[in-house]
Amino acid sequence: MLLTAIIEREGSGYVSLCPELDIASQGDTVEQARENLREALGLFFDCASAEEIKSRLKSEFYVTQVEVAVG
């Protein structure tokens, strides 16, 4: 299954988020945050029932940018 990973710097590390399932992880590098998210998702799919997966899985979401006037 192909899922989205949003990764952003937080302090001295990185936080990763899968918006389709609202599952997050972290790591010291972008690569580690991505791999830790992959592991967290794998554990979720190993443990969650089909019903829980269906109820949490968002089929539609948007990652976009907005322009805002500052100052």
pTM of the model: 0.87
The count of C-alpha atoms lying within 13 angstroms of the C-alpha of 42, restricted to the half-sphere facing its C-beta, is 6
Domain that residue 22 falls in: 6-56
- pLDDT tens-place string over residues 44-60: 999 999 999 999 999 88
Q: Which residues pair with 30 in a beta bridge?
A: none
Number of folded domains in the chain?
A: 1
Query: Residue 68 has what pLDDT?
Result: 97
22 in any annotated domain: yes
Q: Percent helix, strand and coil across the chain, each rounded to 5? A: 35, 25, 40
Tell me the two tokens of residue 3. Answer: 């899922």
68 in any annotated domain: no
Among 5-9, 27-31, 57-61, the minimum mean pLDDT is found in 57-61
66 in any annotated domain: no
62 in any annotated domain: no
14 in any annotated domain: yes
69 in any annotated domain: no
Per-residue confidence at 61, pLDDT binned at 50, 70, 90? confident
